[in-house]
Amino acid sequence: MNSSLMNTNRPPQSIPEYLEQLRVALTGADPALVQDALYDAEEYLRSELAEQPGRSEAEVIASVASSYGAPDEVADIYRDTEVKVQTALRPPAPKPRTSLVGRFFGVAADPRTYASMFYMVLSLATGIFYFTWVVTGLSVSLSLVVVLIGIPLLILFFGSVRLLSLVEGRLVEVMLGERMPRRPLYSARGRNWLQRIGDMFTDVRTWSTLFYLLLMLPLGIVYFTINVTLLSLSLSMIAAPLLVWTGMATAGVSNYGWSVLNWSNDSGLSTSFPLIATPLLLVTGVLTLFASLHLFRGIGRMHGGIAKHLLVKTAQYS
Amino acid sequence: MADAPDDSELQLRKFQKELSAGTVSLALLAVLGSAAEPMYGYQIAKRLESLDGVLSGKQSALYPVLRNLSAAGLLDSHVEPSVAGPPRRYYRITEAGRTTLQHWTAAWRATRDSVDAVLEGERQ
């Protein structure tokens, strides 16, 4: 009790203050856990306040410290319980669909699919940036090592790579759902700065991070291309029949070579498929679209694995 | 020097914590098993507060357990708006919960009897 009071600057005077201290005490915990803890505390505090109409908010909150717990204690309790029942506390996973059809089309209801899709598009931009950063940083600082100024530049560059690794980790966790570190890793407590710099060069993670950042360019290009190609193909396969049936496009036109959906000044919107083939085209389009969504989600999962492997050493993560 | 009393205090705390970790779920199930209507977290906490022993610990520990029991299908829950604050989550025991409660009660009684027997032996 005493120790917990010493940890807080001053006992909270109001419910918002109590909740704020609890939020601070839970810094770094799973956001879902923080949300739960705040919710429970607010319910309890408001109920307690409503039960004791005669007393002031500050008095009620002071008495709550012994029954419900001070913010620090409550934070500890929630952290403990989180470890014990981690799996049970997770937000309910989407129910696994049993039928094959349900599993195939259910991909459209999974938010992870769209996050992966967005990550694939974004990876072109981040890939170009990472690649440029690493190549420029390495070549500039290495070539200047001869005139000594390259050495601090190199150290600075390695520091920036650690930062990029953290940023990429956040992107991967938010979009691909792979749990990644939330703060930079200081493995070298109690070592002097020269040793720390040496650690940077001998740490496998530094090199695997550099490799990952370089790898992001080709991967980004591939991801982006797959994404744009499959989406435009399947969406135009779906759109063409619908446009033909509503009279906005003509079927069986092939004056500019063969195309699923085409626009030209003389014939307007058109498709090369004959009218009779349009229902089949629509079905194929829908199937292609859903198959692509599966592919996107799969790529997202796979990339999460790559990122985890190259950016986080598993031994340091347990 | 001042560590000695602190140490035994810590040991006791740890023991109480372990005791309550095992029994709190049973106590919550029992409270809800005998309740005539659904109860919300605060009410349940106040019910247990009047008891002695490990169950009268910090009441914030009850909420995660309630959530856990609910996730395991032993409790049913629904949310109702309240004038006092955020919407309240009401809990009610399910059929599976009642079956589990019977099993747990039997296990508890057996454990209590054998622990008592051992402690009696100690005393003589």
Confirm whether A285 is domain-assigned: yes
What residues of B are in the A interface, CB distance below 8 Å? 21, 40-42, 45, 49, 58-61, 63-65, 67-68, 71-72, 82-86, 88-89
Asked whether the beta carbons of residue B84 and residue A46 sit closer than 8 angstroms, the reply is yes
The total domain count for chain A is 3
- Going by pLDDT thresholds of 50, 70 and 90, the confidence category of residue A318 is very low
What was the pLDDT predicted at A89?
37
A287-299 pLDDT tens trace: 999 999 999 999 9
Query: Looking at beta carbons, which residues of chain B come within 8 Å of A48?
Result: 42
- Going by pLDDT thresholds of 50, 70 and 90, the confidence category of residue A137 is very high
Query: Looking at beta carbons, which residues of chain B come within 8 Å of A50?
Result: 83-85
What was the pLDDT predicted at A96?
63
Supply the pTM of this predicted model: 0.52
Is the domain of A8 the same as that of A28? yes
Residue A268: enclosing H or E segment and its boundaries? strand A268-270
What was the pLDDT predicted at B124?
63
- Going by pLDDT thresholds of 50, 70 and 90, the confidence category of residue B104 is very high
ipTM value of the model? 0.74
Q: Which of A175, A195, A220 is the last residue of a domain?
A: A220
What's the average model confidence in pLDDT over B3-9? 70
Phi, psi of A102 (to 5 degrees): -60, -40
A247-290 pLDDT tens trace: 888 888 876 677 888 887 777 788 888 888 889 999 999 999 99
Q: Cβ(A236)–Cβ(A261) under 8 Å?
A: yes
Cα→Cα distances A147→A137, A138, A140, A150, A310, Å: 16, 15, 12, 7, 32
CA A160 to chain centre: 21
Confirm whether A94 is domain-assigned: no
Q: Domain spans of chain B?
A: 3-123
Size of the A and B interface in Cβ pairs below 8 Å? 82
B113 to chain A, closest Cα gap in Å: 28
A204-227 pLDDT tens trace: 878 889 999 999 999 999 999 999
For residue A72, pLDDT over 70 is answered with yes
Is the domain of A72 the same as that of A8? yes
Q: Which of B42, B64, B71 is facing A47, going by the closest CB pair?
A: B42
What's the average model confidence in pLDDT over A171-192? 64
Mutation target for B interface from A33, A60, A68, A74: give the one with most B CBs within 10 A: A68
- Going by pLDDT thresholds of 50, 70 and 90, the confidence category of residue B77 is confident
Confirm whether A302 is domain-assigned: yes
Confirm whether A314 is domain-assigned: no
Higher confidence at residue A197 or residue A230? Answer: A230
Confirm whether A106 is domain-assigned: no
Which residue range is the domain that position A253 belongs to?
Answer: 221-307
CATH fold group of domain B3-123: Arc Repressor Mutant, subunit A (1.10.10)
Asked whether the beta carbons of residue A68 and residue B58 sit closer than 8 angstroms, the reply is yes
d(CA A5, CA A1): 6
State the CB neighbour count (10 A cutoff) for residue A211.
12
Confirm whether A173 is domain-assigned: yes
A80-127 pLDDT tens trace: 776 665 444 344 555 666 777 878 888 888 888 999 999 999 999 999
Contacts 24+ apart (CB under 8 A), A167-174: A168/A126, A168/A130, A168/A212, A168/A213, A168/A216, A168/A307, A168/A311, A169/A307, A169/A311, A169/A312, A171/A119, A171/A122, A171/A126, A172/A119, A172/A303, A172/A304, A172/A307, A172/A308, A172/A311, A174/A115
User: Chain B residue closest to A22 (CA)?
Assistant: B60
A115-134 pLDDT tens trace: 999 999 999 999 999 999 99
